[in-house]
């Protein structure tokens, strides 16, 4: 009985170990290929045209979006809109499905959430105006009413960008001083 138990244990181990060892030996030149999807490897190492996307990103003139014009405020929806100009520095299309996150003042007051209304598609080298919509929280409105600032230093928190199905998450990023739309203070004066 003891020999049968030992033989069955050895067979059980071999059933698990031999196929794993065979696959590892068969793919010893590309072990990452076993766990990383080929599409992701292709994105990092180059697209179907042989272009090296990773070096394209690293060598590009990537710049953060620049604000265009003045922010606007819609009192009916308590939404501030900010327009940014962005140029795709890559040699490949850039499809941004969603942008969303929280807006917090540099001293930690939650002002609200920001997002884009529609997905954005940029051809290589193309520029587009991106309108970000920020829905202000009651806490944010109270803070702005009590401070009466012309601009406020903001941080994006829990910020997510979906680029072609790949989610980029940023815990916190300072975006600097952002002007307060004059319509916001007119609105605050009518409710305060």
Q: Are 156 and 101 in contact (CB under 8 A)?
A: yes
With beta carbons less than 8 A apart as the criterion, state whether 140 and 111 touch.
yes
- Residue 181: predicted pLDDT: 83
| Same domain assignment for residues 117 and 156 | yes
Which pLDDT score is estimated for 3? 83
Residue 41: what pLDDT? 58
Alpha helix (H) ranges present in 36-181?
A: 38-45, 53-59, 138-147
Question: 37 is in which domain, residue-wise?
Answer: 2-53
Tokens of 64: 């953060």
Structural domains counted in the chain: 2
Looking at residue 90, which CATH number applies to its domain?
2.60.40.1820
- Are both 72 and 49 inside the same structural domain? no
pLDDT of residue 165: 84
Other Cβ atoms within 10 Å of 75 Cβ, number: 13
Q: What is the structure's pLDDT at 62?
A: 62
Instruction: Please state, in angstroms and rounded to a whole number, the distance separating the CA atoms of residues 86 and 68.
Output: 10
Residues 123, 79 share a domain: yes
In sequence order, what are the residues at sequence separation of 6 or more whose Cβ sits closer than 8 angstroms to the Cβ of residue 77? 135
**Does residue 141 share a domain with residue 81?**
yes
* pTM more than 0.85: no
Per-residue pLDDT of the chain (192 residues; tens, 9 = 90+): 788 888 888 888 878 877 777 777 777 777 666 666 665 555 555 454 544 444 544 445 666 677 788 888 888 888 888 888 888 887 778 888 888 999 998 888 998 999 988 898 888 888 888 888 888 888 988 888 888 788 888 888 998 888 888 888 888 888 888 888 888 878 877 665
Q: Cβ atoms within 10 A of the Cβ of 57, count?
A: 15
Strand pairing report for 127-136 and 110-116: antiparallel
Q: Are residues 91 and 158 in the same domain?
A: yes
DSSP classification of residue 181: P
What is the distance, to the nearest Å, from the Cα of residue 133 to the centroid of all Cα atoms in its chain? 16
Residue 91 is encoded by which pair of tokens? 């040699």
Question: Are 168 and 88 within one domain?
Answer: yes
Note whether 43 and 68 are same-domain residues. no
**pLDDT given for residue 58 in this prediction:** 47
Let me know whether 8 and 75 are in one domain. Answer: no
């Amino acid at each position: 009985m003891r020999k049968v138990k030992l033989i069955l244990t050895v067979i059980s181990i071999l059933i698990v170990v031999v196929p794993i060892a065979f696959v590892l030996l068969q793919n010893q030149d590309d072990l990452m290929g076993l766990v990383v999807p080929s599409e992701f490897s292709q994105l990092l190492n180059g697209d179907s045209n042989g272009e090296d996307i990773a070096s394209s990103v690293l060598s590009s003139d990537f710049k953060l979006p620049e604000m265009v014009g003045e922010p606007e405020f819609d009192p009916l929806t308590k939404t501030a809109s900010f327009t940014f100009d962005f140029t795709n520095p890559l040699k490949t299309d850039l499809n941004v499905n969603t942008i969303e996150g929280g807006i917090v003042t540099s001293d930690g007051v939650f002002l609200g959430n920001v997002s884009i209304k529609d997905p954005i598609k940029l051809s290589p080298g193309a520029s587009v105006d991106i309108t970000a919509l920020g829905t202000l929280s009651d806490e944010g409105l109270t803070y702005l009413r009590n401070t009466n600032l012309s601009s406020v230093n903001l941080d994006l928190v829990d910020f997510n960008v979906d680029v072609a199905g790949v989610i980029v998450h940023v815990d916190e990023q300072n975006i600097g001083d952002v002007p307060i739309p004059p319509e916001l203070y007119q609105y605050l004066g009518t409710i305060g």
